[in-house]
Structure 1
Amino acid sequence: KRASAWRITAVLPYYCYARQDRKDKPRVPISAKLVADLLETAGASRALTLDLHAPQIQGYFDVPVDHLYGSPVLVEHFRHMKLPNLTVVSPDAGGVERARFFAKKLDAPLAIVDKRRVDVDVSEVMNLIGDVRRRSALIVDDIIDTAGTLVKTAEALAREGATQVYAACPHAVLSGPAVERIAKSIITEVVATDSVPLSEAGKKMGKIKVLSVADLLARGIRSIHEETSISELFI
């Protein structure tokens, strides 16, 4: 900005604080909006990001935002795997649209896990909507943080008769006990993109496969700076 750059594009493979996108409790900050304001104040005239937790975050910016998706990269990987009797599973109602995209592209049925908390101090009860008995299950989510929900979902699927459980997500944050939980779980493999660098513990664990989205982001950057259409990169 100080060097009089004509345009500054902020490339954000992982948009931090994206889950703090609304005020759902008293005195809770909307940090996703703050990050957008900070980027614009610093001089960003455009943003390029990948798999926002909530697409509405684009509205927090007063500059153009190009929102790309890593789903095609993940879908292509599982298409080549040719898992037998595959069912795509959304771990909650909010992720149904994302899971439906996978199910359509992989020509597989869709199942949904309904999470309910029976009381304040009583753990969640998971009910499955759909059939996974004697089938391979693919859990699709946008972020794996502590992996608590992921592991509980996998256990619920196993109880319902799933023969093997896989997981796919664009952002493998893997904070706290996540790596240990995945290592001890029944999950066969977690497939993620390299939007967040994988820790050494994650690399050594052996259950996590990382796919690159560098080509996708590079094509987006080229389209922006050559001022050509970027729409072909959108889902």
Structure 2
Amino acid sequence: MNGSIMKIFCGNSNPQLAEQICNYLNVPLGKATVKSFPDGESFVRIDENIRGADVFIVQSTCNPANQHLMELFIMIDAARRASASRITAVIPFYGYARQDRKDQPRVPITSKLVANLLVSAGANRVLTVDLHAQQIQGFFDIPVDHLYASPVMFEYLKNIDREKLTLFSPDVGGMKMASAYADLLKVPLGFIAKRRTDAETVEAVSLVGETEGRDILLIDDMTETAGTLCAAAALLKKHGANRVMAAVSHGVLNDLGYDRLSKGVLDELITTNTTPVEKRSGVPITVLGVSELLGEGIKRIHMNESVTGLFAVKGF
């Protein structure tokens, strides 16, 4: 058993999730001042004694991503200088994860840079949910506990009618995740070939799979502008699909995404609260909570126990 006291702090990215995690663990949220100076510089002060404590800092890198990332770095540095015994960066949504390789000349591998900065700031380990690419764990020289939102998703999906359900990946890259969902739900699998014309526009080109008279569930790790999902939904309905739903781990939606979803081509978007998701009238969004998943992960890390049991899916 870990003899040090557990302390949980958060920045400004997702304080509601941090509160829910603390409620699950029955511990108070740590007192910290995290604010910005008029010129945009971040200021952090930890307002309680953490000497020798096992510190967990909850911070997603959602919009504004750079601001929240700097808050996380500075909070880690503040905890290190306050003599915390161990610092775990709890990053429900790990930003910059899409920049994980050199796919063009003279571009950076920014997700590796962020990993280096987290370690340099003083993080001893990382707890995160559904990385965009599994190999990002290898960018770190510290332990990474990579949890999956799938147990939370399955708890919701087990109640939907699967008799006429076909599961689709909205692109070829997501086939591995989609295949795992399809195996568990015991439904047919398909995929869509897409062509990205720019950062905000996606064209769904063709599809492989059973669609006529079927309900479709799209599976992806994140959506921002909802371009991929809505283009896929439009193509699927053109090929005879009755209803199209999407389940994504991270709903990092911007105004363009909300606008596309409000047009009704996608019947339901199921996501989690790894980032704050605003519910707007006329936008069919279902938000599932990951506070118990992350809370259990924090508890097991603190107690030096295995987190493998958190990957188990109940009810199937």
TM superposition score normalised by structure 2: 0.70
SS in 1 for 2:217: strand
Aligned partner of 1:131 in structure 2 is 210
1:90 aligns with 2:169: yes
Does the 8 Å contact 1:151/1:185 carry over to 2?
no
- Local SS of the residue matching 2:127: strand
Structure 2 residue identity aligned to 1:191:
I
Aligned match of 2:236 in 117, 134, 157? 157
Over 3 Å counting, the alpha-carbon distance change for 1:125 and 1:101 in structure 2 is: closer
Within 5 Å, which residues of 2 pair with 1:1-235? 1-116=80-195, 124=203, 126-199=205-278, 202-234=279-311
Cα deviation per residue 1:79-133 (whole Å; 9 max; x = unaligned)? Answer: 1122440000001111011111111121111011122579xxxx74521111111
Give yes or no for contact 2:99–2:109 (8 Å, CA) kept in 1. Answer: yes
**Aligned residue identity for 1:103:** A
3-state SS in 1 of match to 2:206? strand
> What is the CA distance between 1:205 and its match in structure 2?
3.6
Report which stretch shifted further, 100-109 or 86-95: 100-109
Give the letter aligned to residue 86 of structure 1.
L
- Partners of 2:85 and 2:195 lie apart in 1 by 51
Q: How many residues align?
A: 230
What runs of 5+ residues in structure 2 fail to find an aligned partner?
A: 1-79
Q: Is the 8 A contact 1:194 1:211 kept in 2?
A: yes
Checking the alignment, whether the CA contact within 8 Å between 1:192 and 1:210 is kept in structure 2 is yes
Gaps of 5+ in 1: none
TM-score (norm 1): 0.93
Provide the residue aligned with 2:47 in structure 1: none
Contact 2:261–2:283 at 8 Å: present in 1 too?
Answer: no
- Structure 2 counterpart of 1:88, one-letter code: L
Q: CA deviation at 1:176?
A: 4.0
Q: Over the residues paired in the alignment, what is the CA RMSD in angstroms? A: 1.8
